[in-house]
Structure 1
Amino acid sequence: MKFNSKFWSPVAASILLLSIACTNEKNVEEEVKTTFSGEKNEIKLLTLDPGHFHAHLVKKSMYEQVDPKVHVYAPDGPELVAYLQAIESFNTREENPTSWELDVYKGDDFLERMIRERKGNVMVTAGNNREKTANIKATVDAGFHVLADKPMAIDVAGFELLKEAFASAEENNVLLYDIMTERFEISTILQREFSMIPEVFGTLVEGSLDDPAITKESVHHFFKQVSGKPLIRPAWFYDVNQQGNGIVDVTTHLVDLVQWESFPEKIINYETDIEMLEAERWTTDLTLEQFSRSTGLDAYPAYLQNVVEDDTLKVYGNGEISYKINGIHAKVSVIWNYIAPEGSADTHYSIMRGTKSNLIIRQDAEQDYITELYIEPVEGVDTEAFESTVQEQVQQLSGRFAGLDVVKVPGKASWRIVIPQAFRTSHEDHFREVTEAYIRYLTAGKLPDWEVPNMLAKYYVTTQGLELAK
């Protein structure tokens, strides 16, 4: 066994098992079970092409049902090195270290090798999106479960292939699922909860194109810190043919939340329940210095030259989509800036408009860039009676969310929900929560009935939105 001393210390080498396979190595085929009973270590993970940091965030925690030995299949390169170094950092941290053992195959035939060797039963993928949908389809065709980072499709052709993948997953009795971390953000959870309380919210209004019933906006940044370190992005992250336009990437989360909050646990049929209205996209312009700081490269690669003007890289990272879902107007939009202003971060804004009140999530300077949920009665509602009702409902919810409270915003007909710190888990923690939910589904042997049709509806909206924007 050999370790590259450029990246591994002797201590790290003893912690991570890196069995680098050669192309002429004898293949070992064995049947690995794909039904689960809850036993320890029965889920055996395969990691395919971990080119995005979300791949290692799934493994920031250990799971009782998951075997600590993980088989990794990927092309050689800096993205694989970054993944291995991230797992090393989890294994060697002082507080709650993980104990992952990595068996690594490096080669361009990584997909074929993974399918042929059958060393695991659940494939996790988060990386370059150009071949992701095809890789997912091939994996479920071979009878493996798949937990995939978003987006699972970045264009209309990918959506059509994704439909085939879901059909194949059903035929092979395996679960194909995407990583929707934002469902575990507490202000979003509470926005959903209050929208289901008619005494506070009433019912969702129909809205209009100019004033939707539900709006979700997200601001992200190319240069940021993850797990306390500057995030080095692969150059292909800036290529919409490999990463996807922003309108089909981050908006995946936003479209998912529109469905999850507005029509909880209801099946959405994209052919009958979705009506596309308008969409647009625009570029974020980056200097070579900014690109270099983000990627570590001193020049734009050849595949980006067609979107470079006067040494400025133009990335279609921004966009918005307006559509109707079950007759309700919705709008989602995403903006990518280069770097957040000092003291700020990625931000999220959301409003659900009801017949009695609006439920609004804000995350700006006034909120110290922490998501906060506000409840604001619509015109004509008796504010004194409304305040009493809100307090009563918060008291009831505190049975499930211990310590939940509400305060009136001074000088405004607005009430802020006081969210206990214990419920404010981080974005990185949400990957553990998604994985735990997926493990429960694997053990049950099925996803909730609404999940697959709603995933299809979600990717229909994003990919059709891109077509409209073009």
Structure 2
Amino acid sequence: MKVFATVHRCFLPMLMVAATSASAQDAQKKAAFQLVTLDPGHFHAALVQKSMYPEVSPVVHVYAPAGPDVKLHLDRIQSYNKRPENPTRWDEKVYTGNDYLEKMLAEKKGNVVVIAGNNQKKTEYIKKAVDAGFNVLADKPMVIDARNFDQLKDAFAAAAKKNVLLYDIMTERFEITTMLQREFSRLPTVFGTLEKGTPDNPAVTKESVHHFYKYVSGSVLQRPAWFMDVAQQGEGIVDVTTHLVDLVQWECFPNQVIDYKKDIRLNTARRWTTDMTRSQFQTITNQPTFPAYLKKDVVNDTLLKVYSNGEINYQLRGVHAKVSVTWAFKAPEGAGDTHYSIMRGTKANLIIRQGAEQQYKPTLYIEPVAENAALESSLTAAMKTVQQQFPGVELKKLKTGWEVVIPEKYKEGHEAHFGRVTENYLSYLKAGKLPEWEVPNMIAKYYTTTQALEMAKSTKERMSERAKE
């Protein structure tokens, strides 16, 4: 009996693994969608899998070069599988040969490729995956320079021919204050109509502040060293500003097609660096020295200058907009990434603030542009429409207007928004199509960012030449 008990204990883990594997295989057969993860160098790849989805197989095939990037990705997935509350049950099948891309394309172990990693390779990855008949869910940015913009357009054209869906991960559309800002802007009795603005006083302004040192899923985020290389990650003006340009389109012209050739006019664009010491670099990468590919951006072998900041001043269908992104190394104590946004209407301005006064939590305000005794009654009546879509949302009267009071149930946080985007994308896959405006507006968005980078570079070069004179 003792021998049997010992043998039983030895084989129990093996039996459990076998049972789990069999269960995963059964679920895979029943699932409509099977994920493939390609070269996951960014933590956003893992956040797509922070939740399970009923129609998605738990078996995920990963193709990547061997190294720290894929290891960090798998560690994050494992942490979701092992968490005490609502653990996931992903079963990762990993291939790390040098021919990982060719292997993925040849084996075709799934029908949806998730791409979130080194942006230098991303546009090529997207095009080849689409050409092979994969649906693609890609992290932003899909393209980081004007040189590859046409390749991205070709990828969208190929997706249409192959009848597959190419989509980018726009998490900020699911942030509750942004959703409500959009909703209130569609109520003419409250907002009026969107102003046209001027370059000095845009109708729409969106600013975001980000930090290299941050916590993700409860742990300090370890970033790959290449994240600080703009040749691989992309400059700030084509990276995070993707979200801001997307929101300008999504809020100002909801569900409408943007034609990048007719509707967009760039006014000015600029870029500047964030300085990072060797010690700071080591803190977030666990690498004691700057790799060779960063030497071009290092001063005196001690200070890394990263072109992570950018600003675009442009017109969209005649509406003046300004978007800007700034990166610091670390946020002040108690703070984090922040967002500021204003939409100026003829009757009221809709403003999102996220500073110390708001305890660094995004808060939406409605502020009249002039004395308007009828606005309060109009707003009270309009709230019935808002509350149909967002039950529990209320108003708090202030001297300057109103604060929109949002129940906690809507404040999910950035990480949860990846699940929302994925659920949305899955609904499009089941329908077999994207909304008519999504593809042209993605193309318009990346035209804006990549052309702005070209303008910012040429502007800086002209300024340098003048300085020499």
Same fold (TM over 0.5): yes
Q: Name the counterpart of 1:284.
A: 274
Q: Would the aligned equivalents of 1:123 and 1:144 in 2 still touch at CA under 8 Å?
A: yes
Q: Name the counterpart of 1:346.
A: 337
Q: Name the counterpart of 1:452.
A: 439
Superposed CA RMSD in Å reads: 1.6
One-letter amino acid matched to 1:224: K
Matched, 1:139 2:139: no
After superposition, residues 31-430 of structure 1 pair within 5 angstroms as 40-310=30-300, 311-379=302-370, 381-382=371-372, 384-409=373-398, 412-430=399-417
Shift in CA distance, 148/124, structure 1 to aligned 2, threshold 3 Å: same
Using the TM superposition, give the Cα deviation of residue 398 of structure 1 relative to its aligned residue in structure 2, in angstroms: 1.4
Using the TM superposition, give the Cα deviation of residue 14 of structure 1 relative to its aligned residue in structure 2, in angstroms: 5.1
One-letter amino acid matched to 1:196: R
Q: Secondary structure of 1:188's match?
A: helix
Q: How many percent of aligned residue pairs carry the same amino acid?
A: 60
Distance 1:390 1:417 in 2: 11
Shift in CA distance, 452/262, structure 1 to aligned 2, threshold 3 Å: same
Distance 1:367 1:230 in 2: 24
Using the TM superposition, give the Cα deviation of residue 402 of structure 1 relative to its aligned residue in structure 2, in angstroms: 1.3
Shift in CA distance, 16/48, structure 1 to aligned 2, threshold 3 Å: farther
Using the TM superposition, give the Cα deviation of residue 166 of structure 1 relative to its aligned residue in structure 2, in angstroms: 0.5
Q: Name the counterpart of 1:3.
A: none
Q: Secondary structure of 2:450's match?
A: helix
Q: Secondary structure of 2:119's match?
A: coil
Provide structure 1 residue ranges, at least 5 long, that are not aligned to the other structure: 1-9, 19-38
Q: Would the aligned equivalents of 1:16 and 1:100 in 2 still touch at CA under 8 Å?
A: no
The number of residues matched between the two structures is 436
One-letter amino acid matched to 1:385: A
One-letter amino acid matched to 1:364: G
Distance 1:17 1:316 in 2: 47
Q: Deviations over 1:416-468 (max 9, x none)?
A: 00001111111010000000000000000000000000000000000000001
Using the TM superposition, give the Cα deviation of residue 15 of structure 1 relative to its aligned residue in structure 2, in angstroms: 10
Using the TM superposition, give the Cα deviation of residue 386 of structure 1 relative to its aligned residue in structure 2, in angstroms: 1.4
Of 106-115 and 176-185, the range deviating more from structure 2: 106-115
Provide structure 2 residue ranges, at least 5 long, that are not aligned to the other structure: 1-12, 22-28, 458-469
Using the TM superposition, give the Cα deviation of residue 40 of structure 1 relative to its aligned residue in structure 2, in angstroms: 4.6
Q: Deviations over 1:126-147 (max 9, x none)?
A: 0000010001000001111000
Normalization by structure 2: what TM-score?
0.91
Q: Secondary structure of 1:130's match?
A: helix
Q: Deviations over 1:3-55 (max 9, x none)?
A: xxxxxxx99x959999xxxxxxxxxxxxxxxxxxxx95110110000000000
Using the TM superposition, give the Cα deviation of residue 413 of structure 1 relative to its aligned residue in structure 2, in angstroms: 2.3
Shift in CA distance, 293/15, structure 1 to aligned 2, threshold 3 Å: farther
One-letter amino acid matched to 2:330: I
Distance 1:84 1:385 in 2: 57
Q: Secondary structure of 1:279's match?
A: strand
Distance 1:468 1:414 in 2: 39
One-letter amino acid matched to 1:194: F
Given candidates 443, 447, 451, the residue that maps to 2:430 is 443
Using the TM superposition, give the Cα deviation of residue 385 of structure 1 relative to its aligned residue in structure 2, in angstroms: 2.2
Distance 1:334 1:365 in 2: 19
One-letter amino acid matched to 2:203: A
Distance 1:40 1:401 in 2: 34
Q: Deviations over 1:351-379 (max 9, x none)?
A: 00011010000000100111110000112
One-letter amino acid matched to 1:137: K
Normalization by structure 1: what TM-score?
0.91
